[in-house]
Amino acid sequence: MTDTTARAYAKEAGTFKITARANDGSGKYGEITIKVVPKNPVPTMHTVTMMSDAVGYPKTVVVEDGKAIGDKLDMDLTKPNAVFKGWSRNTAAGPVDFTRDTLVYANTIVYAVFDYQNPKMVESIDLQLSRTNINAGDYVDALALVNPVDASNKDIRFTVTPSLNVEKTSLTTARIYAAREGRYTLRAESTDGSNVFKQVVFEVNDSGTGPIPSTHAKVVFNADGDNNFPRVLTVKKGEALGGRMPADPVRQGFRFKEWRIVGGAGATLTKDTRIDQDTEVYARYIKEGLISKKIKNITLLAGSTLLELNDQTAIGALIDPEDADYKDLTFTSLNPSVLKVDKTGEIAARATAKKRGSAVVRAEANDGSGVAAR
């Protein structure tokens, strides 16, 4: 401040007198009385996210701490051959325990509960992660592909052991915060009473050097239809795997063709390929015999549809009929400068945000049916 100014800091409410005295020996002084009043407290707000597979959901609203959600809670949901019962803080199977009069004290997720006339149960779950090379501090999207596509209750419960923070982002997707290095098991379990589940094991690397020396690289082998995969091998950078290559995967009704490098623009990996960085590959097969049962419909799902720059998310496809003879798809980004799409399996891909903008992902069947989806 200056010779004739000062600043007062109001530490508490009350009435205070400030005196200013001259320092020239004149004995002159002045006074001012200041009243300090309490600030109007800024209310704490919480989010309530309504989960449903109806159009327009998930949907999030904001509620003041300790207040009821009131008319912000939707109560007019409709689904074919089903009657809406209410909202549950547990799962889409109930019980109904959240109403317009329920007081909100924390961020809350609620699930729409329906009564079905002829419920169609979940028969199988496929589980995908948005990335395989995970470092401590990363966020990873989990995507559950539920079969049949028209199952009545597609709500999936996600858990990680040992415990990591898991936040549901839709009925079939979740975001995991990889807080620390280690080996983890992700479990995706149906909530419709069918007791169907799928588990995948993943590793979180130290955010510094990772689990292997910096002189080495990791090669991840994925193969649909063979329970011996995925497999992970390490190799010194600049060298090939040679005789350490895994045996060709075995899949009934198919013949193994090659290992395709994810993000490699169609490049293949062989025993002679020199590895310079962490690499992921997937098995390509040739269908034996005629393709008689072709794909009729493709439904695309993404772990997240809102990405930050360089974020990645998993893309998966539900195939109808589920027992189609040849499910292999070609994935394409219709705006590759914004969103890069790399195939990671027969019905799976990984999308990477390259710059700001919007993009559409297209998946086309390779069985000659001409079926495609966006």
CB 259 within 8 A of CB 241: no
**Contact by Cβ (8 Å): 259, 280:** no
Digits of tens for pLDDT over the chain (374 positions)? Answer: 567 778 888 778 888 888 888 888 888 888 888 888 777 777 888 999 999 988 788 889 999 999 999 999 999 999 888 999 999 999 999 999 999 999 998 889 999 999 998 999 999 999 988 887 788 878 888 999 999 888 999 999 999 998 888 989 889 999 898 888 888 999 999 999 999 999 999 988 875 544 567 888 888 888 888 877 778 888 899 999 999 999 999 888 899 999 999 888 789 999 999 999 989 899 999 888 888 899 999 988 887 777 888 888 888 888 888 888 999 999 999 999 999 999 988 888 888 999 999 999 999 999 999 999 98
CA distance to 96, 104, 135, 326, 329, per residue, from 346 (Å): 39, 44, 26, 9, 6
Strands 239-240 and 312-320: unpaired
Instruction: Assign 70 to helix, strand or coil.
Output: helix
How far is residue 313's CA from residue 284's CA, in Å, rounded to a whole number? 22
Q: What is the pTM of this model?
A: 0.60
Cα distance from N-terminal residue to C-terminal residue, the chain: 64
Task: Please name the helix (run of DSSP H) or strand (run of DSSP E) that holds residue 3, with its range, or none.
Answer: none
